[in-house]
Structure 1
Amino acid sequence: MQKVAIILTQGFADWEYGLIAGAGGPFYGLDIRFFTPVPGEIRSMGGLSAAVPDGLESIPEWGPGVIAVIGGTIWETDDAPVLDGLLLAHHSKGGIVAGICGGTLALARAGLLDDVRHTSNDADYLHRHAPGYAGSKFFRPEPEAVTDNRVITAPGTAPVGFAAAIFASAGLDRDAAETFRKMLAAEHTGTTGD
């Protein structure tokens, strides 16, 4: 069973992790665990309070295959945690790193978007909030998740595609991951995913 570490911060976006946790464990057998920069209580953008006992220092010991950085209000501020060392070490050891919405800023700040195809909320968003970001020529203005060389990125409006990309990268059969994506996108496309 593949392990997926989900990093939450103060002001995390409620809609960006729910499908990973809610479907990844119960339906697809992934081992999902939450981590925060500082263990303790955090509050989501929508007002959900959660006590998370595990800090970032516990991630390498736990040994996940995927580290997913969830967006939220903190990433555009000076209070954003620095994840460079954690993300770079994980990726250099063959791990998968993922970021959605503001979480893509953590990947950009670590230099992980400098030479892979990627997306985010928009290209200017990365330039404004990630000093040193040098991946402009690899940016793709996609409405869905983009995966390249064990790096997954998505705009905040793509939690379904983000979850499906994580599931596929974590070893779920690609057809099953695509069925999941189509099933949850059906309300927007008017199809059942068959």
Structure 2
Amino acid sequence: MARVSLILTPGFADWEYALIAGTGSAFYGIDVRFFAPATGEFRSQGGLAVTVEGTLQQCLDWNPDVVAVIGGMIWESADAPHLGDFLHASRSGGAIFAGICGGTLALARAGLLDTVTHTSNSAEFLQHNAADYKGAGLYTSSPAAVAADRIITAPGTAPVSFTCAVFEGAGLSTEIIAQFRSMLAAEHE
């Protein structure tokens, strides 16, 4: 069974993880679990109170196939947690990384976007909020998720393509992913 860890922080963006958590386990047999840099009870941007008991060390011990860092306003503040050591240890364990919206800042700060094609909310967003970011030459302005060298990035407005890329990283077939994408796009046809 594929394993996907969702890294949440206080003020996490409700829409950026919901499709992964809501469908990954129930419909696609993915073991989805939640972890946080600082465990305990906190609220999402929408006000949902959650208690996350899984530490980053427990996430490493669990050895997920995909580590998805979910965005939220904290990533743009001085209170943003430093995930560099955790992310590098996870990469050594073979994990695929995914960051959406502010979650891409954690990847940029860890140097993971310096040598791969990637996207985010904008190039300026990364440059302004991640002081050591050196990947501007590889930034791609894209309305959808971008996957390169086992790293998935997406703007906050792309939760569907982000979910599809995470599911692909977790090993779901292209047929299942196409069906999932089509189901979510049906109202726009």
Confirm or deny a common fold (TM above 0.5).
yes
Instruction: Using the TM superposition, give the Cα deviation of residue 92 of structure 1 relative to its aligned residue in structure 2, in angstroms.
Output: 3.0
Instruction: Using the TM superposition, give the Cα deviation of residue 185 of structure 1 relative to its aligned residue in structure 2, in angstroms.
Output: 2.2
> Following the alignment from structure 1 to structure 2, what is the Cα–Cα distance between the partners of residues 150 and 83?
17
Equivalent pair of 1:160/1:185 in contact (CA under 8 Å): no
Give the TM-score taking structure 1 as reference length: 0.95
Cα deviations across residues 4-26 of structure 1 (Å, max 9, x unaligned)? 01000000000000000001110
Cα deviations across residues 123-182 of structure 1 (Å, max 9, x unaligned)? 000000001101111111010000001100000000000001000110000221122122
- Structure 1 unaligned spans of 5+: none
What secondary structure sits across from 2:9 in the alignment? Answer: coil
Q: Note if 1:128 corresponds to 2:106.
A: no
> Following the alignment from structure 2 to structure 1, what is the Cα–Cα distance between the partners of residues 135 and 186?
33
| RMSD after superposition | 0.9
Identity of aligned residues (%): 57
Equivalent pair of 2:101/2:156 in contact (CA under 8 Å): yes
Residue aligning to 2:187: 187
> Following the alignment from structure 2 to structure 1, what is the Cα–Cα distance between the partners of residues 178 and 116?
22
Give the TM-score taking structure 2 as reference length: 0.97
Instruction: Using the TM superposition, give the Cα deviation of residue 186 of structure 1 relative to its aligned residue in structure 2, in angstroms.
Output: 2.7
Equivalent pair of 1:91/1:150 in contact (CA under 8 Å): no
Instruction: Using the TM superposition, give the Cα deviation of residue 93 of structure 1 relative to its aligned residue in structure 2, in angstroms.
Output: 3.0
Q: Output the amino acid matched with 1:181.
A: R
- Structure 2 unaligned spans of 5+: none
What secondary structure sits across from 1:153 in the alignment? Answer: strand
Residue aligning to 1:172: 172
Q: Note if 1:66 corresponds to 2:62.
A: no
What secondary structure sits across from 1:25 in the alignment? Answer: helix
Segments ≥4 residues shifted beyond 6 Å: none
